[in-house]
Amino acid sequence: MDALIAQLPEAGSHWSTDQRRKWLAAATSILDLVYPSAPEKVAVIKGDVPLTQSQTAVLDFIASKSSDGQFLEISMQQLAMGCGVPLGSLGSIVPALIDRGLIESKPGDEPRSPKKYRVVSQSDDATPKV
Confidence band of 103 (pLDDT split at 50, 70, 90): very high
pLDDT for residue 96 is more than 80: yes
Structural domain boundaries of the chain? 1-6+16-38, 44-126
Angle at 15 between CA 9 and CA 21, to 5 degrees: 100
pLDDT band at 39 (very low <50, low <70, confident <90, very high): low
| 117 close to 72: Cβ distance less than 8 angstroms | yes
d(CA 23, CA 4): 8
Mean pLDDT of 37-41: 57
pLDDT for the residue numbered 33: 77
Mean pLDDT over all residues of the chain? Answer: 82
**99 three-class SS:** helix
d(CA 78, CA 85): 10
Tell me the mean pLDDT in the region 68-86: 91
What CATH number is given for 44-126 in this structure? 1.10.10.10
88 DSSP assignment: G
Q: pTM of the full predicted structure?
A: 0.57
